[in-house]
Amino acid sequence: MPQASRDIQRRIKSVKSTKKITKAMELVSAAKMRKAVSKVLASRAYSDLVWDTVLHLVKKVEANKHPFFMSPKKVSKVVVVLISTNRGLCGSFNTQLVNKVLESIRIHHPETTSTDIITCGTKGRDEIRRYKVNLIADFRKEDITNDSEDIRPIAHMITKDFLAKRYDKVFLAYTDFMSSLKQAPHVKQLLPIVPEIDARLGHITHEKGQGEKINVESFSEFIFEPGRHDVLDAFLPRLLEVQIYQSVLESEASEHSARMFAMRNATDAASDMIDELTLAYNQARQAGITGEIAEIAAGSAALE
C-alpha cells in the first residue's frame, strides 16, 4: 500500500477517535444541562419576586434611609463581579462575556478613574488578565453550585467594600440562560439599588404549575417589624446573595448548553472530515491500483 494511503488511514482512525470523545462529551453536557436548567427554574421565580419587591421598596423608602439605596453624585470607582467557567470547550462563551464587560465599562463609565474586577471561574480570570484591568480577587468556583453558601464570601466582600465607600457602584456580569439555543452575556447593577434596574435575571418561560407572577406594585405600603433599619440591614445583604447565587445558576446552565452545542458541532465536523478523508483514501487507493495494472501491462508487453 502506498505511503499516502497509509497516512490517510491513520488520519481517519485519529478523527474517528476524536469523534467518539466529542460525542461522549456532548451527551455528558446534555445531562448536566438538564439538571442545571431544573435548578434555574426552581429558584428563578423566588429570585425575581424578591428583586421586584426590593425595587418597589426603593420607591416607598427614602434613599437616605439605607446606604444600599443611596446613589453617588459622582462615580469614581466601580467593581465588577465576573461569573465565568472553570473549563473550556464551550466556544466563545467566556470571550463574549469579557467583551461585554469591557464594552459596558467603555459605554457607561468612560471617565471612571478605576475599575476593579472580581472573578469567579478560572477561564474568566485567565481571559481578563489579557486586558489592562485591575484584578483584585479570584474566588474558587465549584463545578456544581449546590447552595448559596458557596457564593457567600463574594457577597460579603462586595457588601463590606461598598459600605466602606471603597466603590461607588457594584456590577454583576454573567451569562443569562434564555433557552438551550440562546445564551446572552449580561451586566447587571447590584449596588446601589435603584428603581431603574432591570428586575429579571432570566428569560425562560416558567412551566405551568409554578404559579403566576405576583404584582408587587399592588402593595400599597410596607410594615417593618421590629424596625425599618433592622429589617433592611438583615434583608438586603441576603438579597445580594440570592442575586449572585441565581446568576451562578444561570451561568452554569448556559455553560453546559454552550458546551453541548460546541461538542455537537465538533462531532459534525469530524463526520464531514471522515467523509472527505475516506474519499481521498479511495481515490489514492484507486490511483495505486491503476498504477499497478499499468505496470503489469507494460511488463507483459515488454516480454512479448
Residues 6+ apart with CB under 8 A from 295: none
pTM of the model: 0.81
Q: What is the pLDDT along the chain (304 residues), one digit of tens a residue?
A: 567 778 888 999 999 999 999 999 999 999 999 999 999 888 888 888 888 877 777 776 665 667 888 888 888 888 999 999 998 888 889 999 999 988 887 776 665 557 889 999 999 998 888 887 888 999 988 878 888 888 899 999 999 999 998 998 899 999 999 888 889 998 988 888 886 654 444 433 334 334 445 554 555 566 767 776 777 778 888 888 999 999 999 999 999 999 999 999 999 999 999 999 999 888 888 877 787 787 777 777 777 6
Assess if residue 137 is contained within a domain. yes
Assess if residue 172 is contained within a domain. yes
Assess if residue 37 is contained within a domain. yes
Assess if residue 302 is contained within a domain. no
Question: In this structure, are residues 184 and 264 in contact, taking their beta carbons and an 8 Å threshold?
Answer: no
Nearest to 188 by CA among 158, 149, 164, 215: 158
Assess if residue 221 is contained within a domain. yes
Number of H helices, E strands in the chain: 5, 5
Assess if residue 68 is contained within a domain. yes
Assess if residue 293 is contained within a domain. no
Tally of domains within the chain: 1
Do the bridges between strand 134-139 and strand 114-120 make them parallel or antiparallel, or are there none, so unpaired? parallel
Q: Return d(Cα 108, Cα 121) in angstroms, integer.
A: 25
Half-sphere exposure of 213 (CA within 13 A, CB side): 17
Q: What is the CATH number of the domain that holds 128?
A: 3.40.1380.10
Residue 152's domain spans which residues?
Answer: 26-260
Q: Return d(Cα 85, Cα 11) in angstroms, integer.
A: 32
Assess if residue 304 is contained within a domain. no
Query: Which helix (H) or strand (E) element contains residue 134?
Result: strand 134-139
Per-residue cell: 297:
501491462
